[in-house]
């Protein structure tokens, strides 16, 4: 019966991770880490808390995120604190702080949780985990090629094949040239860019653009986008990607990316299945962000990939791993007199790397087997007076019901060979 207790719901827009969910998280994170490390990226981390100023400087972020989507509060010492809405400013801050000690090119990755006060919906939550992989110190197009090849590698590590996704790439220089050609000055370019970023999402995009720029300039811009569909840099990038077997890049001049800090190539990875329409990755070149810290610029390229859309991707392509608990063996104690013996046996097995959970309940064998089965534990051993006396144990495989009788020192080997 429901009582008037506290709600068991998590806070709006965030998730609880029960073991089955955390299992998938771990699968995702391990695939991400493997891909990054194969390209020579080293893991770093930082606190969730950042001074709010980090996101308020001009050019630091995305105005919508900084003004409307951050969790910002005043601490007890009157400091304005923000829960990080993304990792890029933190990474830039850390690199700027130690730039003289760090060796470039510098390759870093991290899988932080980040917070954005958004309206929760499919693919968008208020807390998500986000792989960030960033390469600092490479000015040439090889850096973009590496970032995109790494994004591609992450997808393959997740079990995707090339036709499951598409990497859409654009060059901001192309958009800027278009704006200049249409006569849009630098004062209006920012608003125009923000609108262009929403091009695919807004049904009334053309009208909105005409309101912003006037119909002449809006149609000049539309004409430009029809005529100009690539740049030399994009062609070079395509070539470098093909050279390493990445065939999934497509040029898409509708990709602009919302952040002010991007300065050149930008890209997003999309699921080829339109039912999971949100972008899986977003990234690009941001050569000027480190200047915010009073440092000389350091060229930088990187991307973020969120766990929410990644999980949706795995689900829609039937690539979700099936849950296997960390525990291999349930040690079921049959009566209190056998308890010490069972605890000793468990301890001996753990020192041989077997993962063992003891059922202390002394309930009926069938009940204990049911509990083990519910947890998904593949093996069980009963320990009662007979086992204590004989030193022989029956190892039961729950899925098949098969039992094997062995002395204590052969149990570990048996489990490892049966686990395949």
Which of 59, 391 has the CB closer to ligand HAM? 59
Which of 86, 146 has the CB closer to ligand HAM? 86
Which of 256, 359 has the CB closer to ligand HAM? 256
In the bound complex, what is the minimum distance in angstroms from residue 95's beta carbon to ligand HAM?
12
Binding footprint of ligand HAM on the chain (CB under 6 A): 86, 88, 116, 118, 124-125, 128, 130, 132, 134, 279-283, 302-306, 308-309
Contacts of 277 (CB under 8 A, 6+ apart): 123, 270, 271
Residue number of the CB atom closest to ligand HAM: 306
Which of 88, 330 has the CB closer to ligand HAM? 88
φ/ψ region of 187 (left if φ > 0, alpha if ψ in -120 to 50, else beta) reads alpha
Contacts of 301 (CB under 8 A, 6+ apart): 134, 135, 138, 143, 144, 146, 147, 265, 283, 284, 285, 286
In the bound complex, what is the minimum distance in angstroms from residue 398's beta carbon to ligand HAM?
37
Q: Name the strands in the sheet holding 71-74, side by side, starting at the edge strand that comes first in the sequence.
A: 49-51, 80-83, 71-74
Which of 262, 382 has the CB closer to ligand HAM? 262
For 285, the 3-state DSSP assignment is strand
Q: Are 49 and 81 in contact (CB under 8 A)?
A: yes
In the bound complex, what is the minimum distance in angstroms from residue 275's beta carbon to ligand HAM?
16
In the bound complex, what is the minimum distance in angstroms from residue 139's beta carbon to ligand HAM?
16
Which of 69, 238 has the CB closer to ligand HAM? 69
List the one residue out of 255, 284, 281 whose CA is nearest residue 270.
281
Angle among Cα 123, 129, 130 to the nearest 5 degrees reads 90
H/E element holding 20?
Answer: helix 19-38
Q: What is the largest distance, in Å, between two alpha-carbon atoms of the chain?
A: 94
In the bound complex, what is the minimum distance in angstroms from residue 31's beta carbon to ligand HAM?
15
In the bound complex, what is the minimum distance in angstroms from residue 282's beta carbon to ligand HAM?
3
In the bound complex, what is the minimum distance in angstroms from residue 126's beta carbon to ligand HAM?
7
Q: Are 310 and 279 in contact (CB under 8 A)?
A: no
Q: How many CB atoms lie within 10 A of CB 39?
A: 16
- Intra-chain end-to-end CA distance of the chain, in Å: 45
Sequence-ordered strand ranges (E) for 193-245: none
Which of 221, 280 has the CB closer to ligand HAM? 280
């Amino acid at each position: 019966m429901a009582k008037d207790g506290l709600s068991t719901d998590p806070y709006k827009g965030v998730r609880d991770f029960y073991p089955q969910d955390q299992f998938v998280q771990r699968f995702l994170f391990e695939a991400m880490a493997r891909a990054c490390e194969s390209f020579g990226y080293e893991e770093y981390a930082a606190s969730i808390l950042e001074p709010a100023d980090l996101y308020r400087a001009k050019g630091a972020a995305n105005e919508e995120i900084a003004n409307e989507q951050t969790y910002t509060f005043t601490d007890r010492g009157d400091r304005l604190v923000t829960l990080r809405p993304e990792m890029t400013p933190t990474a830039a801050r850390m690199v700027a702080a130690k730039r003289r000690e760090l060796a470039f090119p510098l390759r870093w990755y991290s899988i932080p949780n980040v917070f954005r006060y958004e309206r929760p919906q499919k693919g968008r939550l208020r807390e998500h985990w986000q792989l960030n992989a960033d390469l600092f110190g490479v000015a040439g197009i090889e850096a973009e090629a590496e970032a995109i090849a790494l994004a591609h590698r992450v997808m393959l590590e997740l079990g995707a094949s090339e036709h499951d996704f598409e990497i859409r790439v654009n060059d901001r220089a192309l958009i800027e040239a278009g704006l200049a050609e249409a006569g849009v000055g630098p004062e209006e370019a920012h608003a125009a860019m923000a609108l262009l970023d929403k091009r695919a999402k807004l049904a009334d995009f053309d009208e909105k653009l005409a309101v912003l720029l006037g119909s002449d300039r809006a149609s000049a811009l539309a004409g430009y986008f029809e005529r100009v569909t690539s740049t030399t840099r994009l062609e070079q990038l395509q070539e470098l990607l093909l050279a390493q077997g990445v065939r999934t890049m497509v040029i898409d001049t509708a990709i602009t990316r919302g952040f002010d800090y991007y300065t050149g190539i930008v890209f997003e990875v999309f699921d080829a299945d339109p039912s999971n329409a949100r972008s899986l990755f977003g990234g690009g070149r941001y050569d000027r962000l480190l200047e915010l810290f009073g440092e000389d610029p350091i060229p930088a390229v990187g991307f973020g990939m969120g766990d929410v859309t990644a999980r949706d991707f795995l689900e829609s392509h039937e690539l979700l791993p099936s849950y296997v608990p960390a525990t291999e063996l349930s040690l079921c104690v049959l009566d209190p007199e056998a308890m010490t013996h069972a605890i000793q046996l468990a301890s001996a097995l753990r020192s041989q790397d077997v993962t063992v959970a003891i059922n202390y309940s002394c309930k009926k064998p069938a009940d204990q087997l049911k509990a083990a089965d519910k947890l998904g534990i593949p093996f069980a051993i009963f320990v009662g007076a007979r086992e204590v006396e004989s030193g022989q144990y029956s190892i039961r495989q729950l899925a098949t019901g098969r039992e094997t009788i062995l002395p204590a020192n052969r149990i570990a080997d048996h489990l490892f060979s049966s686990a395949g």
